[in-house]
Amino acid sequence: MGDSLIKGRGLSPGTATSEVVVCNQLISPLGEISREGLVTSGPCENVNITGKILAFLGGRGSTVGSYTFLELKSRNIGPAGLINESAEQMVVTGAIISDIPMVDRIPLDILSNGDVVYLNGSSGEISIKGVEEKKVATVYLMHGGKVLLLTRSESASSYPGQVSGISGFIEKGESPEQTGRREMEEECGIRDSVTKRIGREIYVRDKNIIYEITPILMESKSDEVKLNDENSGYIWIDPSKMHNYETVPKFKETFVSLVSS
Residue-wise pLDDT tens digits, 108-164: 999 999 999 999 999 999 999 999 999 999 999 999 999 999 999 998 888 999 999
Instruction: Tell me the mean pLDDT in the region 250-254.
Output: 96
Number of H helices, E strands in the chain: 5, 16
pLDDT for position 1:
44
pLDDT for position 156:
87
Q: For 38-55, what is each residue's pLDDT tens digit?
A: 999 999 999 999 999 999
pTM for this entry: 0.89
Q: Give the C-alpha separation, 252 to 238, whole Å.
A: 13
- The domains located in the chain, with CATH, are 6-128 (3.50.30.10), 132-260 (3.90.79.10)
Which residues carry out catalysis? 62
How sure is the predictor about 261, in pLDDT bands with cuts at 50, 70 and 90?
A: confident
Residue 4 has pLDDT above 90, yes or no: no
Q: Give the C-alpha separation, 64 to 30, whole Å.
A: 7
Show contacts of 40-48: CB within 8 Å, 24+ apart.
Answer: 47/21, 47/23
How sure is the predictor about 3, in pLDDT bands with cuts at 50, 70 and 90?
A: low
Neighbours of 60 (CB within 10 A): 17
Q: For 50-70, what is each residue's pLDDT tens digit?
A: 999 999 999 998 889 999 999
